[in-house]
Amino acid sequence: MRWWLAMPVAVGISIAGAAADLRIEGAFRWVFAVAYAVGCLAAVLGVSGTGLVATMVEPPVVAVLAVGVGMILSGDASGGSAAALAVGAGVTVLFPLMAGVTGAAVLIGLLRLWRRRPRSVAPAH
């Protein structure tokens, strides 16, 4: 997957989970958590080449976008400062999930970078 496609994929999956969870549960629970984790980890696993580092650090941005758009789509945020406060509160509650997914994305990305590094060849004697 190209680096510029990784973020929309992660955001799209996360927004779908956020909107579904708000409609079903009325809050961000397991549907959003699964969609968010799958979207962000699919991005870091699927991207190739130079975009790997960007996907490693994108989970916090994805969370803010998914919470905001999910709240707007479900009708929980109408606009203005009330919407900004609602999104801020939603992101604050999700901080442990966001930290865990970010940590997993960074770990997976570092492992992929480590496996991709050039191997040194021992000189022949």
Q: Tens digit of pLDDT for each residue in 32-53?
A: 999 999 999 999 999 987 788 8
pLDDT for 71: 79
Residue partners of 97: CB distance under 8 A and separation at least 6: 33, 36, 37, 63
Find out whether 75 and 21 touch, Cβ atoms under 8 Å.
Answer: no
Contacts by residues 117-121 (CB-CB < 8 Å, ≥ 24 positions apart):
none
pTM score, whole prediction: 0.84
pLDDT for 19: 87
Tell me the two tokens of residue 89: 């509160």
Grade residue 121 by pLDDT with cuts at 50, 70 and 90.
low
* Angle, helices 80-93/95-116, rounded to nearest 10 degrees: 60
DSSP 70-105: HHHHHTS--SHHHHHHHHHHHHHHTHHHHHHHHHHH
Find out whether 35 and 13 touch, Cβ atoms under 8 Å.
Answer: yes
The owner of tokens 């994108």 is 58
| Mean pLDDT value of segment 57-71 | 89
Find out whether 16 and 37 touch, Cβ atoms under 8 Å.
Answer: no
Residues in the chain: 125
Q: Where are the domains of the chain?
A: 3-116
